[in-house]
Amino acid sequence: MIPVLLDETTRQRYLNYALSVITSRALPDIRDGLKPVQRRILFSMFHNHRLVPDRPPIKSAKVVGSVIGEWHPHGDAAVYDAMARMAQPWSLRNTLVDGHGNFGSQDGDRPAAYRYTEARL
């Protein structure tokens, strides 16, 4: 056995974990500028639902459900917030999701619940 200080070991391990979370989830990827949740949403919209610009939009709840069910088991709020942000023209330079319905406003109004909105690529 090697004696170690509990507080020092805990601090070091938490720092390693925090840096891992920041680099793998919170920061956008250098290759395409997308966070993992955004990439999962776009992949689900194209691969699972074939949502292309010439097809009619589907309920956002269906997209959120498929993302949560297959790739992102961290809760629906994080997925829908990321999807709503990709539909807001004031949040991104180029919108990646064509949102239909109330996706919020520049004044800070929150988007409507995902059961009331629709989206496509």
Q: How far is CA 59 from the centre of its chain?
A: 17
Give Cα 11 to chain centroid, integer Å. 29
Question: Measured in whole angstroms, how far is the alpha carbon of residue 83 from the centre of its chain?
Answer: 6
For residue 116, indicate whether it is catalytic: yes
Q: How many residues are recorded in the chain? A: 121
> Is there a contact between 119 and 44 (Cβ–Cβ < 8 Å)?
no
Q: Choose the catalytic residue: 14, 17, 80, 116.
A: 116
Strand segments, DSSP code E, in 10-96 are: 58-59
* Active-site annotation, residues: 116
